[in-house]
Structure 1
Amino acid sequence: MNNILFVDDEIKLLKILSSSFKKKNYVIYTASNGEEARDKLEENPIDIVFLDLRLPDTMGLELLEEFSSTYPDKAIIIMTAYGDIESAVSAMKAGAFDYISKPAKIKEIEVVIQKAQKWIDIKRENEDLKSELKEISSRSGFIGSSPEMKQILQIIERVSDTNATVLLQGESGTGKSMVARMIYKVSGRNKAPFLTINCAALPENLLESELFGFEKGAFTGANTSKKGKFEAADEGTIFLDEIGEVPFTLQAKLLQVIQDKTFMRIGSNETKQVDVRIIAATNRDLKEMVEEGTFREDLYYRLKIVDIYIPPIREHIEDVELLADRFLDKYKKIHSKECQLTESFIKALMNYEWPGNVRELENAIERAVVLSKGTELSTDDLPQELQKSKSALSDVTEGTKTLPEHLNEVEEQVILSTLEKSNGNRAEAAKLLGISRQLLSYKMNKSATFDN
């Protein structure tokens, strides 16, 4: 129940207010001047303050400014017997939650109390959400002090406790699955299931049965009926990873369940209704796919109610040290090692572009921890790609290599990064690089880097 402080120099009025609201099971405190009000607020868990504008030892507006600054989580309501609109406006500007003219009826005061309590409850929920989100993001490794990462956390905070469909976009390894879980964990659906399906991992017929389920006898081998992911995730959240890989012929059925929350199992004519929150993720450009005719435009816009772009590390390189420190703590415990980051080690991390993003950084830190011999991580224990990046930078500084040699090394690094991004597919890598496959093969064959 609310704890309320009434501040007024009319002792008789204080007694009436105290008696009336105690009968309604409120916890009531009273003060007849500013100094007494300060003491009561400091010593007691008060939620709502009714403050008279005229007090014997101070002006109500001055006290309001003080209390608003010191106690931003409390709702302060100004009371005035003078019906002074100018004073009421000044009070609202100074941080008052509301104002009420005296004499006010008990019912009128109670309506203001109820409004104030709703505001306090929302404010506390928001603070709890921020605290929980901060803890979850730190624990999952999704951290950063850059403006880009702070903005993402703000969007997560605002969208989490809604039912809006969320589309996560960004390169592989940026942490899209982490963000999906964070949204789920701080949402009102966190007691219900969170189910993930990788749309790129299954052929069309299996993907359809995984998503929507099937009836007994629907196809060869369907010996029993089975629920799909949408049905199993009822009242919870489903995470559709690699949504850009869903075959065009299946996209209409997916659109229906996203739009109407209805679907039919394979082999059934019965429409089923589900209450599911949908989060989707992709490393592909869905808008470009729409223009190419390989992704439905209506599905794209239904998925994109709230879209969150997760930037690659190279766009917030200042967060590398924070992330490295977080992964170091994790793998020191796992591998029972005592080691720390050094300035040269951090410099090597900062000088690399991280085509594999957070996932690649985490792997590099674990490798360095495993191979470490002493109490400091050595740059010699970093993967080969980082070694090349480090030595190339050193050579540029020291002037030990010619310009063509530097350019060859940069070219090799770009090819390596692109091949990793395309999972070793030379045709796709050549397309990304804007060269022919034959030219790519030639460049790879003439370099010892690609012998393996």
Structure 2
Amino acid sequence: MEIKEKILIVEDEFIVANHLKMILERDNFKVIGIASSVTQARNMLAQQKPEWVLLDIILQGDETGIDLALDLIKSEIPFLFISANTNHSTLEAVKKTQPYGFLVKPFRPKDLLVMLDIARYRHGLENQNKANVNTIEKQQLGFSGIIGKSPLLAEVLSKISIVAPTETSVLITGESGTGKERIAHAIHENSSRKNKPIVVVNCAALPLSLLESELFGYEKGAFTGAHSRKIGKFEQADNGTIFLDEIGELPLNAQVKLLRVLQEKEIERISGSETIKVDVRIIAATNRKLEIEVANGNFRLDLYYRLNVFPIELPPLRERKEDIEELARYFLEKFATADKKIKSFSPKVLDRLLSYNWPGNIRQLEHLVERSILLNSGDQITQIDLPSNTVLNTIPQQADLQSLQEMEKNHILQVLNSCEGRIYGPEGAAAILQISTTTLYAKIKKLGIKMEHF
């Protein structure tokens, strides 16, 4: 049988390392070595380049698997983490390295092989995306209702064009009002399932008591009031697509059943004894940070990586302001009526639209244009009622919050200033931050910190 990819295992527990080796070799992967420390792994990497690295976080020596991950990123070697450490700070550090998977110890052999299959598939898609990124024109794609020409939107459209024709699960993230459902429809409309239904489920809108019956259906007599059999959303979406909006609101018991659908492609109705095969593509969306939900025990890590095969993050409207005018004109045309033939915005109104921060994103702009049409007379909108900035600022808005990267950069700068730029030694920045000097140098480079900054 044909040998699959070459894999390096970096794991300091002898029993776990050999267990991994046995599973991989039984599935025709070639294990080129086992390293118990970052130093040993680097020596092995200098001699032979693997196609994949399985990487523990806590290793022998002073450096961690996250330190080695930074080397692998530079060498363009894909990697996956295997660790028992799932606290919030660890998951945040892991996320920044963008691994292709994270397997929690203890694990089943099947979990490892499934994670590897997903990782290999995703890596192949990304390579295809890089090869095709400049060959796809927006006009060739059926993206109805997606308005704008900004570089950030073009990047989203490029990702859709790659993933839509496949059967891959997609996780769409972004703030409320950024158009996640529209993106889900675009993926479905450009897939081989486009002539089959796309079934939309808002997980946040369903009461907990109804959630499972809505998703999986029930048999007659399953509970009081169940006078007949009900077909659930997954059966309705058979051979099509199901869009699970606000997936972060899904309770843990429903997450277990959803995981089974992803793994086994089968469901059971409530009080049913029959196992029903379903062929459904899953697209999920959330405005929550699922990594934080995982760390807090509210979302299953295995389900997160099952859904996160191909992530698409939607930018907020404030980061694509070059699209605001086109979007506003689109909504103006959409809501114009025979009685309200408004054709344009005054220059003053356009300036106000462009300078506003849009905490409610595209949905807020849409509602604002619709309301403005009703309140304005004539053929031009000359007045627009934007919420006061002073009112908005009384509540912390998403736009006012720093990203984790900005917070990390500012904190490192503060430490570097406090020790006058010293990095080494017991009073150096690395010691204060409790990270290795290698990690600190990598962070300084990644965050764009220069000597003149401190």
Q: Same fold (TM over 0.5)?
A: yes
Aligned-partner Cα distance in 2 for 1:282–1:191:
26
Contact 1:164 1:277 (C-alpha < 8 Å) held by counterparts? yes
1:413 and 2:415 correspond: no
**What is the match of residue 200 of structure 1?**
204
Q: Is the 8 A contact 1:184 1:190 kept in 2?
A: yes
- Alpha-carbon separation, structure 2, partners of 1:132 and 1:258: 31
User: Offset at 1:329?
Assistant: 1.6
Q: Which runs of 4+ in 1 moved over 4 A?
A: 416-419
How much does 1:130 deviate?
5.0
Does residue 244 (structure 1) correspond to residue 248 (structure 2)? The answer is yes
Pairwise CA distance, 1:270: 1.8
Aligned partner of residue 283 in structure 2, secondary structure = strand
Q: Aligned equivalents of 1:174 and 1:357: distance in 2?
A: 6
CA drift of 1:252 comes to: 0.5
- CA distance in 2 between counterparts of 1:334 and 1:294 reads 50
Q: What is the match of residue 370 of structure 1?
A: 374
Q: Which residue of 1 aligns with 2:180?
A: 176
AA aligned to 2:286 is: T
Partner of 2:215: 211
Residue 263 of structure 1 is matched in structure 2 by: 267
- Aligned: 1:355 with 2:342: no
User: Which of 166, 170, 187 is the equivalent residue of 1:162?
Assistant: 166
Output one character per residue of 1:356-402: Cα deviation in whole Å (capped at 9) or x when no partner: 11010011112222222223211x3x2241xx35xxxxxxxxxxxxx
Distance 1:361 1:208 in 2: 35
Counterpart residue identity of residue 216, structure 2? F
Which residue, 180, 184, 191 being the options, matches 1:187? 191
Distance verdict in 2 for CA 1:132–1:336, change over 3 Å: farther
C-alpha displacement of 1:218:
1.3
Query: Following superposition of structure 1 onto structure 2, how do residues 78-157 of structure 1 map, counting pairs within 5 Å?
Result: 130-131=138-139, 133-134=141-142, 136-137=143-144, 140=145, 142-157=146-161
Q: Which has the higher contact order (CA 8 A, sep 6+)?
A: 2
8 A Cα contact 2:138 2:157, kept in partner? no
Task: Say whether the 8 Å CA contact 1:256–1:262 is kept in structure 2.
Answer: yes
1:383 equivalent to 2:385? Answer yes
Q: CA deviation at 1:225?
A: 1.2
**Change in 2 beyond 3 A, CA 1:334/1:186:** farther
Give the whole-Å Cα distance in 1 for the aligned partners of 2:348 and 2:219.
Answer: 61
Give the drift of 1:333.
4.0
One-letter amino acid of the counterpart of residue 186, structure 1: N
Higher helix share: 1
* Aligned residue type for 1:273: K
CA contact (8 A) 2:219 2:270 kept: yes
In the aligned structure 1, how far is the partner of 2:140 from the partner of 2:302? 35
Secondary structure at 2:222's aligned position in 1?
coil
Q: Could you tell me which runs of 5 or more consecutive residues in structure 1 were left unpaired when the two chains were aligned.
A: 1-122, 390-408, 422-452
Whether the 8 Å CA contact 1:204–1:250 is kept in 2: the answer is no
State the Cα distance separating 1:214 from its structure 2 match.
Answer: 0.8
Deviation per CA, 1:117-155: give whole Å up to 9, x if none.
xxxxxx9xx97x954635x33xx2x21111110000111
Give how far 1:327 is off: 1.1
C-alpha change, 1:210 and 1:334, in structure 2 (3 Å) is farther
Alignment size in residue pairs: 267
Q: Could you tell me how far apart the structure 2 residues matched to 1:334 and 1:309 are? A: 38
d(CA) in 1 for partners of 2:237 and 2:345? 43
Q: CA deviation at 1:186?
A: 1.3
Aligned residue identity for 1:175: G
Rounded Cα–Cα distance in structure 1 between residues aligned with 2:396 and 2:317: 14
Distance in 2 (CA, whole Å) between partners of 1:285 and 1:189 is 29
Work out the CA distance in 2 between the residues paired with 1:218 and 1:333. Answer: 49
Once residues 331 and 282 of structure 2 are traced to their aligned partners in structure 1, the CA distance between those partners, rounded to angstroms, is: 30
**1:12-91 correspondence to structure 2 within 5 Å:** none
Residue 174 of structure 1 contacts residue 359 of structure 1 at CA under 8 Å; is this kept in 2? yes
Aligned residue for 1:415, secondary structure, equals: coil
Secondary structure at 2:378 match in 1: coil
Q: Relative to structure 1, is the Cα distance of residues 239 and 160 closer, same or farther in structure 2, using a 3 angstrom cutoff?
A: same
Residue 313 of structure 1 aligns with which residue?
317
Q: State how far apart, in whole Å, the 2-side matches of 1:414 and 1:260 are.
A: 48
Deviations 1:245-299 (A, max 9, x none): 0011221111110222111111022211110011111111111100111100000
Q: Secondary structure at the match of 1:301?
A: helix
Say if 1:130 and 1:157, in contact at 8 Å, map to a contact too. Answer: no
Identity %: 47
| Match in the other structure for 1:220 | 224
Instruction: Give secondary structure in 1 for the equivalent of 2:273.
Output: coil
| 1:281-319 CA distance string (max 9 Å, x none) | 111111110011110000000010111101111111221
Report the Cα distance in structure 2 between the residues aligned to 1:131 and 1:255, rounded to whole angstroms: 37
- For the aligned residues, what is the CA RMSD? 2.3
Counterpart amino acid of residue 133 in structure 1? L
Task: Report if aligned partners of 2:169, 2:309 keep a CA contact under 8 Å in 1.
Answer: yes
Q: Deviations over 1:23-70 (max 9, x none)?
A: xxxxxxxxxxxxxxxxxxxxxxxxxxxxxxxxxxxxxxxxxxxxxxxx
8 Å contact kept, 2:332–2:342: no
Task: Please state whether the residue corresponding to 1:266 is helix, strand or coil.
Answer: coil
Report the TM-score when normalising by structure 1. Answer: 0.56
Change (3 A) 1:195 1:304: same
- Number of the residue aligned with 1:254: 258
Structure 1 contact 212–229 (Cα < 8 Å) conserved: yes
- Are the equivalent residues in 2 in contact too, given 1:209–1:266 (CA < 8 A)? yes
Gaps spanning 5+ residues in structure 2: where?
1-131, 401-454
